[in-house]
Amino acid sequence: MKVKDAPPNALAALEAAAAAHDKARYVLRLYVTGSTRLSSRAIVNIRKICEEYLQGRYELEIVDISVHRTRVEGEQIIAAPTLIKTLPLPLRRFIGDMSQTERILLGLDLTAAGTRGQST
Protein backbone atom coordinates (compact mmCIF):
# COMPACT_ATOMS: atom_id res chain seq x y z
CA MET A 1 0.00 0.00 0.00
CA LYS A 2 1.36 3.41 -0.94
CA VAL A 3 1.25 6.30 1.52
CA LYS A 4 -1.21 8.23 -0.65
CA ASP A 5 -3.49 5.14 -0.69
CA ALA A 6 -3.41 4.81 3.10
CA PRO A 7 -6.62 5.40 5.03
CA PRO A 8 -6.95 9.00 6.28
CA ASN A 9 -6.41 8.00 9.92
CA ALA A 10 -3.21 6.09 9.03
CA LEU A 11 -1.95 9.07 7.05
CA ALA A 12 -2.73 11.39 9.96
CA ALA A 13 -0.86 9.03 12.33
CA LEU A 14 2.14 8.99 9.99
CA GLU A 15 2.16 12.79 9.77
CA ALA A 16 1.87 13.05 13.56
CA ALA A 17 4.80 10.65 14.01
CA ALA A 18 6.90 12.66 11.56
CA ALA A 19 6.06 15.90 13.37
CA ALA A 20 6.93 14.34 16.74
CA HIS A 21 10.25 13.13 15.32
CA ASP A 22 11.03 16.65 14.08
CA LYS A 23 10.44 17.97 17.63
CA ALA A 24 12.24 15.15 19.48
CA ARG A 25 14.79 16.22 22.07
CA TYR A 26 18.20 14.61 21.63
CA VAL A 27 20.40 13.76 24.59
CA LEU A 28 24.01 13.19 23.56
CA ARG A 29 27.16 12.51 25.54
CA LEU A 30 30.61 12.78 23.96
CA TYR A 31 33.48 11.06 25.73
CA VAL A 32 36.91 12.49 24.93
CA THR A 33 40.43 12.10 26.29
CA GLY A 34 41.86 15.44 27.32
CA SER A 35 42.55 18.16 24.80
CA THR A 36 44.06 16.02 22.07
CA ARG A 37 43.66 16.99 18.44
CA LEU A 38 41.25 14.10 17.83
CA SER A 39 39.13 15.07 20.85
CA SER A 40 39.05 18.73 19.82
CA ARG A 41 38.05 17.80 16.27
CA ALA A 42 35.23 15.55 17.57
CA ILE A 43 33.90 18.37 19.78
CA VAL A 44 33.91 20.88 16.94
CA ASN A 45 32.31 18.43 14.50
CA ILE A 46 29.50 17.26 16.79
CA ARG A 47 28.69 20.82 17.86
CA LYS A 48 28.46 21.81 14.20
CA ILE A 49 26.13 18.89 13.45
CA CYS A 50 23.97 19.68 16.48
CA GLU A 51 23.66 23.37 15.65
CA GLU A 52 22.90 22.72 12.00
CA TYR A 53 20.45 19.82 12.36
CA LEU A 54 19.17 19.89 15.96
CA GLN A 55 19.19 23.59 16.81
CA GLY A 56 17.32 24.23 20.04
CA ARG A 57 16.42 20.61 20.69
CA TYR A 58 19.52 18.87 21.98
CA GLU A 59 21.61 18.45 25.11
CA LEU A 60 25.28 17.75 24.54
CA GLU A 61 27.45 16.77 27.48
CA ILE A 62 31.19 16.48 26.94
CA VAL A 63 32.95 14.15 29.38
CA ASP A 64 36.74 14.09 29.63
CA ILE A 65 37.51 10.50 30.62
CA SER A 66 40.98 11.44 31.85
CA VAL A 67 39.27 13.55 34.55
CA HIS A 68 36.05 11.56 35.13
CA ARG A 69 37.29 7.96 35.01
CA THR A 70 34.38 6.56 37.03
CA ARG A 71 31.84 7.77 34.43
CA VAL A 72 33.44 5.52 31.83
CA GLU A 73 32.82 2.27 33.70
CA GLY A 74 29.03 2.40 33.50
CA GLU A 75 29.02 3.35 29.81
CA GLN A 76 31.51 0.66 28.72
CA ILE A 77 33.64 3.09 26.72
CA ILE A 78 36.38 1.22 24.88
CA ALA A 79 37.62 4.03 22.61
CA ALA A 80 37.57 7.79 22.57
CA PRO A 81 36.11 9.93 21.22
CA THR A 82 32.80 8.11 21.60
CA LEU A 83 29.41 9.74 21.15
CA ILE A 84 26.40 8.13 22.82
CA LYS A 85 22.85 9.09 21.86
CA THR A 86 20.62 8.18 24.79
CA LEU A 87 17.43 9.87 23.59
CA PRO A 88 15.41 9.46 21.52
CA LEU A 89 15.64 5.69 21.63
CA PRO A 90 17.23 3.51 20.40
CA LEU A 91 20.58 4.14 22.06
CA ARG A 92 23.37 4.60 19.50
CA ARG A 93 27.17 4.84 19.74
CA PHE A 94 29.63 6.49 17.37
CA ILE A 95 33.41 6.27 17.59
CA GLY A 96 35.85 8.69 15.96
CA ASP A 97 36.24 12.38 15.27
CA MET A 98 32.58 12.80 14.15
CA SER A 99 33.73 14.04 10.72
CA GLN A 100 31.54 11.59 8.76
CA THR A 101 28.48 13.81 8.90
CA GLU A 102 26.25 11.60 6.73
CA ARG A 103 27.02 8.55 8.86
CA ILE A 104 26.25 10.50 12.05
CA LEU A 105 23.00 11.86 10.59
CA LEU A 106 21.95 8.38 9.50
CA GLY A 107 22.72 6.99 12.97
CA LEU A 108 20.77 9.79 14.62
CA ASP A 109 17.84 9.16 12.25
CA LEU A 110 18.21 12.67 10.85
CA THR A 111 18.87 12.00 7.17
CA ALA A 112 15.37 12.94 5.98
CA ALA A 113 15.10 15.89 8.38
CA GLY A 114 18.65 16.96 7.75
CA THR A 115 18.33 17.21 3.99
CA ARG A 116 15.12 19.28 4.02
CA GLY A 117 16.76 22.64 4.55
CA GLN A 118 19.88 21.93 2.51
CA SER A 119 20.53 23.61 -0.78
CA THR A 120 22.05 21.58 -3.61
| pLDDT tens digits, one per residue of 9-31 | 765 554 555 555 567 999 999 99
**Which class for 37: exposed (0-12), middle (13-18), buried (19 or more C-beta within 10 A)?**
exposed
Which pLDDT value is given to residue 119? 37
Mean pLDDT calculated for residue range 43-61: 97
Mean pLDDT calculated for residue range 82-97: 96
Which pLDDT value is given to residue 95? 97
